[in-house]
Amino acid sequence: MKKLLHADILSERITPEIAQNISRNNVSIMLCDIRSMYNVGSIFRTSDSALLKKVYLCGFTPAPPRAEISKTALGATDTVPWAYYKNAAEAIENIKSNGEKVIALE
């Protein structure tokens, strides 16, 4: 078993153009006030593998492009739709206005 390098992983990923046309699950997540850029990158990677609809970043959660996020996201910031809102309440209003339900987990 060989440990893959970052370049090896990226070479096997789908392109952002193909990702735009993929059927995604009707589930989005919101990251509110997450400090760790590495955790944000990890959540992007997980969202990519689960084909989540969108990632909402709120508050002081760091947003791409950042080297620390990219390091753990492994290209997922280019294939997972995302949006940044300074205020989580504004993001929730926007989500609800699109007819989507909001469920909170901590």
pLDDT tens digits, 78-102: 999 999 999 999 999 999 999 999 9
CB atoms within 10 A of CB 83: 15
Alpha-carbon span 75 to 69, nearest angstrom: 10
Helix (H, G, I), strand (E, B) or coil at 74: coil
CB 44 within 8 A of CB 80: yes
CB 26 within 8 A of CB 5: no
* Residue ranges in the chain whose pLDDT is less than 50: none
> Which residue type is seen at 8?
D
pTM attached to this predicted model: 0.86
CB 78 within 8 A of CB 90: no
